[in-house]
Every structure is written in structure tokens, then in C-alpha cells.
Amino acid sequence: MQPTFRWFLTGATLTAVLLFSPRGFSEPGGGGLEPILQSIQKLDLDPDTILEQVRQIESEQQSQKIQSELKELEGELERLNATKADLEKRLSEIQSLPASPDRGDLGEISSDNFEFFETHIRPVLAESCYACHGPEKQKAGLRLDNAESFLVGGESGPAFFPDDPEGSRL
């Protein structure tokens, strides 16, 4: 350790003792510096000891910080693992759903059927269903504002079966 730094630490220690001494030195019976010097010697406050204590405190603080960060990361990992498990479950459910019908399976839609749908069905869907199952929001993955999505259905499968209207969910 450099001599200048050693003198600095010794001076800083002595200044601290003088400033925080319970009795003033100018008071009668103040005791002088001798008792203070003896107290400093008893404390063994040489610069190397002080540096070692500072390093130990810094090491403990760093260890506490690392432990805190580790706890946070473990919590984040637990949350991500839960999200992963949820996504894997959803993927499994989606994979178990029947394949969506081809557009060719729909056949040609006659103009009478199209007109009936546009006149009688779409207004009911728009008024009652699009808020939750339209272009902006698809609750349970069900979208009812276009024919393909209408037939594919949502998370629980198709909501409408063209060949079996009575068996359809709508």
C-alpha cells in the first residue's frame, strides 16, 4: 500500500474520532489525545485492516445482490415454464382438432343461398356475435365474419356444419 494512502486513512480515522468524540478537547478535563490514540491502537485500525474490512463488506453486498437477482431470475424462469406448459397444452389441443375443410368442399354457393345468408343470417351475427367473434376479437378462437373461419370454428371445433344444421352449435 502506498505511504500517502496510509497517511490519508490514518488522518481520516483520527479526524472521525475527534469529530465524534463525546467530550470536547477544549473542555477542562478533556483528556487530550493520549486516550484516543490508545483507543485507536486497541482497535487495530491500520490501513490494511480497514481495506480488508471494506473489501469484506463489498463482497457481502455483492453476494446479497447476486442472491437477490438469482431469486428474481428463478421466479421469471418459473413463470416462463408455466407459460411454456400452457402453450404446449394449447398446441396439443389444436393438433387434436379436425383439419379445416377445403374451400372446394364448400361447393358453389347459389345466389339464392348467398342472398338469404346476407339478408337474414349476417345481420343477426353482426348484431349478436361480432363483438366477441368478429375481425377485432375472436373469443375462444372463433371468428364468424367470414365463411372459411365460420366453418373452421374455434378452439372447440366448428360451430356450424353445413350438412347438419340441427347438430351445429349455432
The CB density around residue 150, as the number of other CB atoms within 10 Å, is 20
Residue 45 has pLDDT above 70, yes or no: no
124-144 pLDDT, tens digit per residue, is 888 888 888 788 888 888 887
Instruction: Count the Cβ atoms, other than its own, within 10 Å of residue 47.
Output: 18
Residue 54 DSSP SS3:
helix
CA–CA gap between residue 150 and residue 133 (Å, rounded): 10
Alpha-helical runs (H) found in the chain:
3-19, 34-43, 47-96, 111-116, 122-128, 130-133, 147-152
Write down the pLDDT at residue 103.
45
Predicted confidence at residue 92, as pLDDT, reads 85
* 54 has a pLDDT exceeding 90: no
Share of residues in the chain with pLDDT > 90 (%): 18
Looking at residue 140, what is its pLDDT? 85
d(CA 58, CA 60): 5
Is the dihedral angle over the CA atoms 95, 100, 102, 105 positive or is it negative? Answer: positive
Residue 23: half-sphere exposure toward Cβ, Cα within 13 Å: 10
Please answer whether residues 152 and 103 qualify as being in contact, where contact means their C-beta atoms are separated by less than 8 angstroms: no
E strand intervals along the chain: none
pTM of the model: 0.34
